[in-house]
């Protein structure tokens, strides 16, 4: 079975690079360097119109924790309905209560808004107080998959816990391994987890083509991080070799 490679992309050009490098699916977001938030309507529409691979949109109104009030939940539901209208294949959601449990009511409202789309539960799962119980709740909500680093800072560090999640899931939900994945550690991660789906950002530095630089702002970087098709290609090659 072909192993699936999802690429976190924070714009249209990033999504194009992900597809060109052999990515199978896009997780589209804004502010990837800050953990990711929901991209604008324009970015979602342009990305869905440009790439041919599935686009899953991150639904997160702000950075920080995953404890949301009623207005934030309603805004997320509205964003989900917008994604459906734009033809996106999936959304990426998550919410916790103050004690680190899954906020079932908030998540169910988002699941209901996402009728017809696939649903990934994002790495709020990694910050849950009891991940084994949280996984059962996420399965009961009807989510398609859960993105996890095994509760660690990176998926390679949390590989043993990811393998435990897979045993617990027993095919009822896809375990999507993500965070800190590179060409240097992906092969071992596949072996240790037995997973079939992997999530990476595959970013590299883009040097600005701007010739004019305001001398009063010397030292202010105009370069940025973006998806690198060559990095994606390297990950794809490793997955195809296993």
Domains of the chain by residue range: 4-206+218-241
pLDDT mean over 218-229: 91
Asked whether residue 34 carries a pLDDT value surpassing 90, the answer given is: no
Q: pLDDT tens digits, residue range 126-182?
A: 999 999 999 999 999 999 999 999 999 999 999 999 999 999 999 999 999 999 999
Instruction: Give the model's pLDDT for residue 218.
Output: 86
Class of domain 4-206+218-241: alpha beta
- Taking alpha carbons only, the member of 114, 3, 7 closest to residue 51 is 7
**How much of the chain is helix, strand and coil, in % rounded to 5?**
40, 20, 40
DSSP 15-57: HHHHHHTT-SEEEE-B-GGGT-BPPPHHHHHHHHHH-SS-EEE
204 near 228, Cβ under 8 Å? yes
DSSP 49-64: HH-SS-EEEE--SSSS
Contact 147/199 with Cβ under 8 angstroms? yes
């Amino acid at each position: 079975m072909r192993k699936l490679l999802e690429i976190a992309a924070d714009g249209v050009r990033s999504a194009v690079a992900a597809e060109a490098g052999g990515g199978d699916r896009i997780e589209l977001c804004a502010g990837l360097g800050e953990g990711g938030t929901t991209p604008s309507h324009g970015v979602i529409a342009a990305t869905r119109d440009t790439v041919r691979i599935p686009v899953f949109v991150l639904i997160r109104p702000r950075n920080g924790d995953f404890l949301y009030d009623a207005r934030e939940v309603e805004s997320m539901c509205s964003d989900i309905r917008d994604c459906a209208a734009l033809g996106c294949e999936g959304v990426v959601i998550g919410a916790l209560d103050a004690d680190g449990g899954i906020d079932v009511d908030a998540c169910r409202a988002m699941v209901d808004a996402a009728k017809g789309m696939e649903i990934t539960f994002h790495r709020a799962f990694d910050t849950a107080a009891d991940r084994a119980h949280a996984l059962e709740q996420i399965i009961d909500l009807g989510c398609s998959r859960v993105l996890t680093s095994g509760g660690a800072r990176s998926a390679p560090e949390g590989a043993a816990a990811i393998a435990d999640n897979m045993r617990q899931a027993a095919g009822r939900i896809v375990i999507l391994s993500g965070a800190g994945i590179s060409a240097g550690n992906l092969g071992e991660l596949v072996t240790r987890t037995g997973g079939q789906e992997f999530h990476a950002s595959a970013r590299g530095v883009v040097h600005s083509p701007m010739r004019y630089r305001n001398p009063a702002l010397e030292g202010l970087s105009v370069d940025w991080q973006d998806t690198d098709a060559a990095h994606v290609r390297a990950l794809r090659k490793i997955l195809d070799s296993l």
